[in-house]
Amino acid sequence: MPFPLTRFRRALILSAGTLALALPLNAETTIRGVTLSTAGLAMIEATGHLGSDPIRLSIARGDIDDFLKSLWVVDPAGSVPSVTMTGPGSFDDAFAHFPFGPQDVTDPARLFAAMIGAPVTVERRGESWSGLNMGVTQRPGENGPQNVLTVQGDDGTLHSFVMDDALGVRFADATDQQTLTAALRAWRGSANPRRVEVTLDSADHSERDLDLVYLQNAPLWRTAWRAVDTSDGIRLIGWAVVENTTGADWDQVRLTLATGSVRAISARLYERRYAQREQALDDAVAAPMVAATSYRAGALAMAEAAPAPMMADSAASVGVTADDGDSFSRFTLDTPVTLAAGQMMSVPFLSELLPDARLTLYRGGSGELHPTIALSLENPLPLRLPAGVLTLYEDGRGHAGDAMIPEMAPGATETVTFARDTAVEVREENTGTETVREMRLSNGLLYVTEDLEQRTTYRIEGAPGAARDITIDHPRRDGWTVSSATGPEERPDAWRWVVHVAAGGRDSLTVTERQPRTRRVGLMDIDTNTLAYWQGRSVDPRVTQTLRQLADLRGQITVAQEDQRTQAQSVQTLEREQQRLVNLIVQLGDDSQANRDRRARVDAIDAEIAAAQAASEAAVQRVQDLHRQIAALIGA
């Protein structure tokens, strides 16, 4: 439903009132230029008049650190500037020296209670009394409790005065009056904790204009690209979305948009900080000193760059003067900008005609069934293009999709996808082989040189209604060489082929990748299965014979090790049987025939254990001998 006119007017009045309160930010300066960065800072260029009166600025509390860090004053008189402001603890500092607290100032009864003994002058209906303040008490009145001020006169007489609208009281001592005035000024200075009042002055009071440059936190300016597919090519238009958060209206301001990746530091310069000190205690341990300031990383620094020639203009964008530096590029609008505080705007700042580079693109390894419809963009300008969202329009057909563009350095290319071609299907098949080219033995190692081959086939089913040129991007792998029936285009991250597929037709592309690989296999302790694998792949008769002998020796080692384990188990079994018999003989303790047989069996087991141990040691010796033979065979 339509917005009621009365509500609209009321909202307009409230907004205008709020804006009027914010305008004193730069009441004595005029903003001439603003540079907005993609990293979130605004560089303000302003002018102000300095003479007998200083320049006064009201800076937002959240911006004061950047202001103190970055303020740059250009004074034609060459005098030394001085910048003063209320400190972060000025309110508490002021009341630390007053005889009363902050809340006492706002309540006359509490104020006089804190200033007992101070000389005062009381006035009521033309009469006045002087004396010493004795404080305020409460007494019952007709309309409830009422405050009563008691004063001791010069002659010692006590006078009581009801503190109503007709009573006037002032401190007779000039020092007391000045203290009260200073307290009220402290209250006034803290009335808006969200702002810091700054005064810029110098010892030279001649009338002149100063140039000021400083940084301020600001929202990111963003880029929204339009790509229009025309008969002449792709018309690429960049629109900048900016917001005025400086707190002051922009009136015919020179606006510059900066993009890049440079560093800025945010330093807490306004915050009050103290160093830790050692306490004077008997068992005190010296406390470590802490840094006087702390820093956090930012993402922008702005510097002056030499102007560059104006870029070619078109009806699609405003005039722009652009220049490029080592770390960032700038676009300065030739038309001054007028934008109220808190308002946003979107303005076309760049227009360029690019060759038509629409692709039906399939990326190998993506696992997708359908290729994408993409744009291959190349930055033809000698400066960076900022990142942003891109909206593609087909001439005469309308919106064709959206894509994201990263920041593009001069000469950089980027392929962005904005739709999917569901009329085309691409299926990917992968096979691989490993062919041994050479084997050799050296120092107990088997060196195997292999040729790895990876074969990828892209099988394409064309669109039923029209022919297509399908672009295949096969991912590049370090150390692999590529071959196919037609030579590919080499790109930073892929090998690219273009396959023409007739309407309703089928075609395929086979990509063969090869990589030589050398592996080292230790033979001294190789297991029989691995040895058999390499023996079966050997291409050198001498290596094959050596591996066969090695397999025989490894087999003998296996038999000897099994014999050693068998003898060791036999020893353990005999020892358990012998111990069982000894325990039984001791338990029975008689000289029966059965016990005599048991004793004979114990003696016989001793001989069997000795024989088994000898056989086990012989097996160990055989294993060692076989290892020495292997070492000699393989040259270890």
Count of beta carbons in the 10 Å neighbourhood of residue 183: 22
Nearest-angstrom CA–CA distance, 498 and 376: 14
Vertex 404: Cα angle to 379 and 369 (nearest 5):
110
Question: How confident is the model over 260-288, as a mean pLDDT?
Answer: 69
Provide the pLDDT confidence category of residue 316 given band limits of 50, 70 and 90.
very low
Provide the pLDDT confidence category of residue 12 given band limits of 50, 70 and 90.
very low
Query: The dihedral of CA 526, 532, 537, 543: what is its sign?
Result: positive
Q: What digits encode the pLDDT tens for the residues 48-84?
A: 999 889 999 888 888 888 888 889 999 898 888 888 8
Select from 293, 303, 220, 222 the least CA-distant residue to 264.
303
pLDDT score of 526 more than 90: no
Nearest-angstrom CA–CA distance, 179 and 304: 49
In sequence order, what are the beta bridge partners of 31? 46
Provide the pLDDT confidence category of residue 289 given band limits of 50, 70 and 90.
very low
Provide the pLDDT confidence category of residue 330 given band limits of 50, 70 and 90.
confident
Nearest-angstrom CA–CA distance, 117 and 574: 112
Q: What digits encode the pLDDT tens for the residues 380-429?
A: 888 888 889 998 888 777 888 898 988 888 888 888 888 899 999 999 99
Minimum mean pLDDT range among 149-163, 294-308, 582-596: 294-308
Q: What digits encode the pLDDT tens for the residues 543-562?
A: 888 888 888 888 888 899 89
Highest average pLDDT, of 304-318, 329-343, 477-491, comes from 329-343
**What element of type H or E holds 45?**
strand 41-50
What is the predicted pLDDT for the residue at 294?
35
3-state secondary structure of 551: helix
What is the predicted pLDDT for the residue at 290?
36
Concatenating the DSSP letter of every residue in 109-159 gives HHHHHHTTT-EEEEEETTEEEEEEEEEEEEE--TTS-EEEEEEEETTS-EE
pLDDT score of 280 more than 80: no
Angstrom distances, CA of residue 278 to CA of 52, 281, 431: 47, 9, 73
Please count the residues of the chain: 636
Between 627 and 303, whose confidence is greater?
627
What is the predicted pLDDT for the residue at 22?
35
pLDDT score of 288 more than 50: no
Q: What digits encode the pLDDT tens for the residues 116-168?
A: 999 999 999 888 899 999 989 888 888 888 888 999 998 888 989 988 888 89
The burial of 568, by beta-carbon neighbours within 10 Å (0-12 exposed, 13-18 middle, 19 or more buried), is given as middle
